[in-house]
Structure 1
Amino acid sequence: MLKTALIVCFVVINLPIQNEATESPIIGILVQETSPYINGKFPNHNAYLAASYVKYVESSGARVVPIFINQTKSYYRKIIQSINGVLLPGGNTWFSNKDGYADAGDIIYKLIKEENENGNTYPILGICLGFELLIYLDASKTDIRTNCSSVDKALNLHLQENYNDSKIFKSAPKELIRILEKENVTYNSHRYCITEENVKKNKLDKFWRVVAWNMDNSKAVEFVSILESVKYPFLGLQFHPEKNIFEWNKKKNVPHSANAILVGRYFSDWLVKEARRNQNRFITKTLEKSALIYNYQPFHTGLKGIAFDQMYFFKI
């Protein structure tokens, strides 16, 4: 039986920031509102989390806490101060939805910036819609996306000339770079794009560095594939590395080669490695356990024509 979402109150302890890493990192993943199509297949819920993101984080040695939408700022502050990093997942929702994915993301983003400003390393990984959300928020909630067509497409990356100066690739193995540049191992599924032109036009290049780019299906739009924050441990990916490892819809062109798996793991490993530098924790193991994703049961949703093989549902 599905357990409905239990919103718990977290008590926070502020710890001094130390050099040694935590051995038990916890990553928060933001849930999002269900679409009418999903509601038709799985009614009586209003929020979901694709299980592939949960398994993606777990595969790199971290545990997961779902972060719920439509909550108070106090809730978000307490949970952000109890975990070690955040993943903003892809999906299909609108930034204009009141008290939804974007509104929650806005509060979370500001709180995590505060954590970093206070000397507490705190990473964010934004994937597809999550990547676009980071740019939307830094553009003062102005949607600077461009219409494009890059749906169900596996691509190689075009890396910027100075990619090896980037934080994400400065220590990357040469073989990984070769795979990214030569093989179609990044899976794209988006109808909107962020262009480098729009990043510069909105003066976001002061905050974000373009690391890699690609062309859409029409070959008419050059879009950003990877962005990293100039100042913070924030990374945005327009493609879906989690799908390489955990989504198996045979009608989709998701790459599942050994090299595609290697590439997928690289970015989750980055997130968890950065999270290990964060010293936040729940004040008690009881509160920690009550917040973990283990308290919820995933459904096998791929059988009902939904893009994700497994999903968690919540009533919030």
Structure 2
Amino acid sequence: MNKIIVLFIYFFLFLNFLKTNCLKQDGCHHALNDRPVIGILSQPASSDKYKEYGYQYIAASYVKYVESAGARVVPILYDQDEDTLRKLLNSINGILLPGGGVYFDEQPIYNKSLYLIWNYVIESNKRGDYFPLWGTCLGFEEIVSVAANTFDVLTSFNASNYSIPLNLTDQVLNLSSNSLLFKEMPLEMLKTISNEPITMNNHRMGLSVETFNNFTSLHQFFDILSLNDDKSGNTFISVIESKEYPIYAVMFHPEKPLFEWYEKEDI
């Protein structure tokens, strides 16, 4: 698959995430710089070989991904106190929750920041302040978990190092679809992402359709835009979008094919 095509597809997705701007909001102040500022949440360092460089990190590929779409990036340290975190959130235009590895039952401080961010996103959008939230892989898992108010919505899947096409749902393919993430994607791009193995998955947990349907807080809040089967044939939800707010989550890694060059990865 031509990497230029992949690049344009992934840039298109993130540009849609950034698309609605200040000028469309009533009472919004004019910005000194019209490039959005996106916060990326840090994660605890999970390996001793990395901890000598610091106890938390943000993978560079996510920073490059956001910057390549024209936005600026600021780090959100997961262990900031609440007042500092709120002040930072008031100073940015959106948040990306990256992929990675966090054991939620061992990270109460991290979890507290997650819930604060989630509540801030909901409250901001309720009052008409456009504030988008994007989750990739672990970020997807975090979004559905805080939305359901339990990490028990996640189940095991066999989808590590696994590149596949998206199985888009009727919510996307229907001509009257109101999906903000895909509705303006050119037909050729939709064909490519639906037929070529260009979405790189690297996860062992995920959200099943059954669990999604069992939680009112999930199926009344989100639309399913894509489904996929893991290596064992089990179906997981691969793309979701809020019905009302600019909240999007994908289980695949759009940043990896563009900015990670590791021969062992299925890219």
TM-score normalised by structure 2 residue count: 0.84
Deviation at 1:22, TM superposition (A): 6.0
Aligned pair partner of 2:142 in 130, 133, 136: 133
- Separation (CA, whole Å) in 2 of partners of 1:60 and 1:100: 31
Aligned pair partner of 1:213 in 200, 206, 227: 227
Q: 1:194 maps to which residue?
A: 207
Matched to 1:73, the amino acid is: E
CA contact 2:40–2:97 (8 Å) conserved in 1: yes
Matched to 1:112, the amino acid is: V
- Deviations along 1:28-58, one digit per CA (max 9) or x if unpaired, are 00001011x2x22441521011000000000
Q: 2:82 maps to which residue?
A: 73
Aligned pair partner of 1:225 in 238, 255, 260: 238
Unaligned runs of 5+ in 1: 1-14, 255-316
Pair 1:236 & 2:262 matched: no
Q: 1:25 maps to which residue?
A: 36
Unaligned runs of 5+ in 2: 1-25
Deviation at 1:114, TM superposition (A): 1.0
- Separation (CA, whole Å) in 2 of partners of 1:103 and 1:115: 18
CA contact 1:121–1:233 (8 Å) conserved in 2: yes
RMSD: 1.8
Bigger helix fraction: 2
Secondary structure of 1:171's counterpart equals: coil
- Separation (CA, whole Å) in 2 of partners of 1:21 and 1:244: 33
- Deviations along 1:199-244, one digit per CA (max 9) or x if unpaired, are 110121100110001000011x100010001111000000000001
What's the % identity of the aligned pairs? Answer: 36
Pair 1:172 & 2:185 matched: yes
CA contact 2:98–2:136 (8 Å) conserved in 1: yes
- Separation (CA, whole Å) in 2 of partners of 1:161 and 1:18: 38
Aligned pair partner of 1:160 in 152, 157, 169: 169
Deviation at 1:97, TM superposition (A): 2.8
Secondary structure of 1:96's counterpart equals: helix
Pair 1:92 & 2:101 matched: yes
- Deviations along 1:232-286, one digit per CA (max 9) or x if unpaired, are 10000000000010011011112xxxxxxxxxxxxxxxxxxxxxxxxxxxxxxxx
TM-score normalised by structure 1 residue count: 0.72
Q: 2:6 maps to which residue?
A: none
Matches for 1:1-316 after TM superposition, within 5 Å: 16-17=27-28, 23-35=34-46, 37=47, 39-43=48-52, 45-164=54-173, 165=177, 166-203=179-216, 204-219=218-233, 221-254=234-267
Matched to 1:168, the amino acid is: L
CA contact 1:90–1:129 (8 Å) conserved in 2: yes
- Separation (CA, whole Å) in 2 of partners of 1:196 and 1:20: 41
Secondary structure of 2:105's counterpart equals: coil
- Separation (CA, whole Å) in 1 of partners of 2:56 and 2:132: 24
- Separation (CA, whole Å) in 1 of partners of 2:81 and 2:157: 35
- Separation (CA, whole Å) in 2 of partners of 1:22 and 1:124: 20
- Deviations along 1:91-111, one digit per CA (max 9) or x if unpaired, are 111122334433211111111
Matched to 1:90, the amino acid is: G
CA contact 1:95–1:103 (8 Å) conserved in 2: no
**Structure having the higher Rg:** 1
Would the alpha carbon gap of residues 215 and 19 (structure 1) be closer, same or farther in structure 2, given more than 3 Å must change? farther
Aligned length: 237
- Separation (CA, whole Å) in 1 of partners of 2:30 and 2:241: 23
Matched to 2:43, the amino acid is: Q
Secondary structure of 1:115's counterpart equals: helix
